[in-house]
Chain A
């Protein structure tokens, strides 16, 4: 019985908690991609860089607050800087729309041209980030690092297996719940949210019924800015901030959005968790888990690992390909590709 408990704790510690926090970060990112896709109708390759930009501004202001000795006690200072980062990211989104994307929208360009344009934007933002903050890895989480250390848990429960709970994980999960609730409330209950959904569903009909497209578009960019900045900052807070990581993160984010059904906000969230959990579950070595669960005669000799951790990113893409083959519209019927 105690062994069973141990094995559950192993799973919690190494799969479920990291999976939920990584999944939340992916879900927020995928939600942003899906919003751009649903309203503006193109695949935004610059999304990762927008996230990175938000995280960068947050870091800069975190440093500023730290130098002024302003802090939140046990909470990371980054939470204080986050609103500034969000505002800056929104401004970035609005500017890039005004100067770049708007033209092509008025021209009614095909989606693939807009995707190319977003690559140009990606390069520009990428350069700005590297020029401002360099390419070094930056750790900017301060305050209390662990809510519960593995050792404390062992002492508390008397079990052999520890359960660690990082504060960044808890913050990620709480903020995600907050933000998702707000976003879905906004989409379902407010007038602007409803007009956005109408616009996404049928543009011509929405225009006919008097919805102002410019308003819808700028609202979209504001939401995208908020989501991207929060997602980027949380990812940086949880792991560490490294500008080139965000370009690699674009792929799992796209995978999440498409797997969930692109254009469907709920699907994007689910897709985020699906991708995160499959990445972690496929590459986790289950040896410890089975050692607790099975009698010692059946103990596995190898690591019981399906794929080595090197293939983390490959897993998300394999899932994307499989989903596209079996159910091209994603889990929650998004647009048919």
Chain B
């Protein structure tokens, strides 16, 4: 098992006490909401940290992989819509089969025709006409599917399995996309890789946004089933009511009037059910986080992790020692993306809805990167710490700026134009905060708050 240094214990204590503090000030419900998102952010950050911190492979496609995880949550948990399958299933099947044929044809051409010019011409011709033919079947099928009861369905639906399976499936979805991206782009220099992955993640999201037969597009998928109980059911469960009564016994016993006591109890039960649901999520998420943390650390300390560090620190030397740099880069890129995909599925599970238009690079790529840089790349605890701290400040920035603005403008009239304008733009101060944090960390602590430990073994 791993041993923590003293400053690492300090970091852990800070993280825990932040939530207790918020719990007392703003209520436990708020605290748990933030905690849940912090855990998911920490998992995303670990995913990016594995590829960037271990091997120096940059991954700006976080948003795309998250969206793939979200798609997995929909496809696994949503009940299947048989009607859609009936009207469009065959057309989709045919177009998919044709696509496979096309890919095989292109691969065959690449193998057999050596002359470069002929190859390009033949390839572009075959791809152009292939796509024309595929589009014919495909558009018909998708059109039919989208016409099936468009107000509530209009897509294929999913498998109707428990949503928790999607956490694994989401990982595989993201890994699949990452494999393709990695095959195409991993030879590039790091800042180009950043741009290309950013662009491909935009493509992934725009596909999810506009292919309504698959993901319902901008119409969003709502009402995904939860892996934890619903508040309304809890409020009518005997053991839960007894539990709440037992926990608040002293408070309730002080109230003599029966109807008043019942009223208080009901309020307590409603509060407690909300907290119970969030707590169950938090426990599920924590389990996933610890599993990933454990294996990530194991992997980092293993010979494989050492090889990754060698590749990161000196690619040429590692190559000379017989390590297959290209292959290892691909492997670690895929693993990192898979973890991000898991987080994406968890995110949709938590929200209970899938909104493709909600995936924006600022929020889902760059913020995650700030978490990685701030926490300390190459250190998994640092990644978790970064995820917690940055998400925490992202959320708490708004109340904090409101407070500061009110303090600074205390001398002004309450209807002063400047004051009102500033208070209106409170939500945007968090971007300022994020930018400043990133710049300050990069300047004064470039290795992050909890830097990577230099291991000599």
Interface residues of A (CB under 8 A from B): 42-43, 100, 103, 110-113, 115-117, 119-128, 130-131, 134-135, 247, 251, 254-255, 258, 308, 310-311, 313-314, 316-318, 320-321, 324-326, 328, 337
Contact = CB atoms under 8 A, between A and B. Distances in A.
B200 A317 contact: yes
A247 B362 CA distance: 8
Interface hub of A116, A117, A125, A134 (most chain B Cβ within 10 A): A116
B278 interface: no
A337 B362 contact: no
A119 B372 CA distance: 13
A122 B435 CA distance: 7
Interface of B: 58, 120, 184-185, 188-192, 194-196, 198-200, 202-203, 206-207, 209-210, 361-362, 366, 369-370, 373, 422, 424-425, 428-436, 438-439, 442-443, 446
A42 B190 CA distance: 11
Contact of A310 (B192, B209, B361, B425): B209
25 contacts: A43-B195, A112-B58, A112-B191, A115-B194, A116-B373, A119-B366, A120-B438, A120-B442, A123-B366, A125-B435, A126-B431, A127-B428, A127-B430, A127-B431, A131-B429, A134-B425, A135-B428, A247-B361, A247-B362, A255-B199, A310-B206, A310-B209, A314-B206, A317-B202, A324-B192
B297 to A, nearest CB: 25
Nearest to A316: B199
A324 B197 CA distance: 13
Given A258-B195, A313-B206, A317-B199, A120 B446 contact: no
B192 A317 contact: no
B207 A314 contact: yes
Contacts, number: 124
At the interface, is chain A mostly helix, strand, loop or mixed? helix
Contact of A100 (B192, B196, B433, B439): B439
A213 B425 CA distance: 40
A251 B361 CA distance: 11
At the interface, is chain B mostly helix, strand, loop or mixed? helix
A131 B435 contact: no
B200 A321 contact: yes
Nearest to A134: B425
Given A127-B432, A127-B435, 9 more contacts: A43-B192, A120-B439, A123-B370, A126-B435, A131-B429, A254-B199, A314-B203, A320-B195, A328-B188
A318 B202 CA distance: 11
Interface hub of B189, B195, B424, B429 (most chain A Cβ within 10 A): B195
Contacts of B424: 134
Contacts of B439: 100, 117, 120-121, 124
